[in-house]
Amino acid sequence: MNTDRIFLSPPHMAPEARDFLVRAYESNWIAPVGPDLSAFENEFADYVGAKHAVAVSSGTAALHLALKLTGVGPGDVVPVSTMTFVAPANAVCYTGAEPLFVDSELTSWNMNPDLLRIALERLRNQGRSPKAIVVVDVFGQCAHYDPIRELCHEFKVTLIEDAAESLGATYRGCNAGTLGDIGCFSFNGNKMMTISSGGMLVTDNPYWAEKARHWATQARDDAPHYEHSEIGFNYRMSNLLAAIGRGQLLSLDARIARRREIYQWYNRRFASAPGIELIPESEEGVSSCWLTCILVDRARLGVSRDEIRIALDAEQIESRPCWKPMHLQPVFAGMEVEGGSVADLIFERGLCLPSGSSLMDSQLERIAGVIERLVVSGTVR
């Protein structure tokens, strides 16, 4: 057994990030605010093309604040992508609202605009018009936003883009995170750019930006003493993490390019394999390829998704099933769902392969070799 474990998407730290961190540490700006925090917000906003950015403690915190900015609260319903990590659905529940899960389309694996229309029309007919929807850009690829934005305009719904997985992706020339009214990013350890934790809320609305920043700092009023007129949250990012973020931004383009190279490598390697299909890249945009995922057709390949996963794990290679749809999660049993068959298929057959930007070609060869040996043995059983 090879004990050199290959992880799915490990942190990839830039040397500049350490330099920024040391300078921030030596300056004694350790408290939650400081010059690196403001600089990181400005630099990140410039990078994605947003007018305002608010650095917070996590991507989930950004989603929670975004929902509050739109007025979502108890009794509301919020359409949410069902093919996603649990964070956006949790954030909806934090507000007292309920999620309504919308299925994916096969061309991008993201929210299906046709099903979203059906959901919005049904809610309107029931007198339950939502204030916001949350669209998740899954596995590094932007959703099909033109029809989604048209629906939001028609139904007067605020569009929140969960770009936690898609930093660096584009849709028709526009950057992920700027395709809705509010964009939310994550800097968790496995994301496109990591600072160990943290998130960012971006918007072109100056009032929303200031309100989010106010709520994120315990909603402290402008007074010489501690004065509070509304409930706030301890969501502000620390100056030290912001310093790391500034350094990580400098190498982000190279990290994105490498992940795209990895996607293309897998695509070439498995192009002739019957029963292995890579996540498609939408014609409307460019994916950041956060994770390269495959769909496995056992009838054609001779082995199943789980057999591949177990074989990889036996060789110290991490892989993981694609997101279990939210409408299948026990915690959301009984919640409304529009469609579901596409997300169900992706979960049943989908496998995320190692895709980190630090992955070497020799490691890619090792991964592919395990799969190819398994397929050869599996098809003759």
* C-alpha dist (Å) from residue 212 to 7, 65, 149, 242, 301: 35, 6, 23, 17, 50
Q: Give the 3-state secondary structure percentages of the chain, helix then strand then coil, rounded to 5.
A: 40, 20, 40
Q: Would you call 131 a catalytic residue per the annotation?
A: no
9 three-state secondary structure: coil
Main-chain phi, psi angles of 101, to 5 degrees: -85, 135
134: β partners: 80, 160
Amino acid letter, 68: K
52 three-state secondary structure: strand
* C-alpha dist (Å) from residue 246 to 36, 44, 209, 234, 251: 8, 8, 20, 22, 10
Residues 68, 191, 211, 324: which is the catalytic one? 191
Neighbours of 36 (CB within 10 A): 27
Instruction: Report how far residue 363's alpha carbon sits from residue 320's, in angstroms, rounded to the nearest whole number.
Output: 17
Amino acid letter, 227: E
Antiparallel, parallel or unpaired: β 77-81 and 98-102: parallel
CB contact at 8 A, 234 and 29 = no
Antiparallel, parallel or unpaired: β 292-296 and 350-353: antiparallel
Instruction: Report how far residue 121's alpha carbon sits from residue 158's, in angstroms, rounded to the nearest whole number.
Output: 16
Instruction: Report how far residue 57's alpha carbon sits from residue 51's, in angstroms, rounded to the nearest whole number.
Output: 20
Positions annotated as catalytic residues are 191
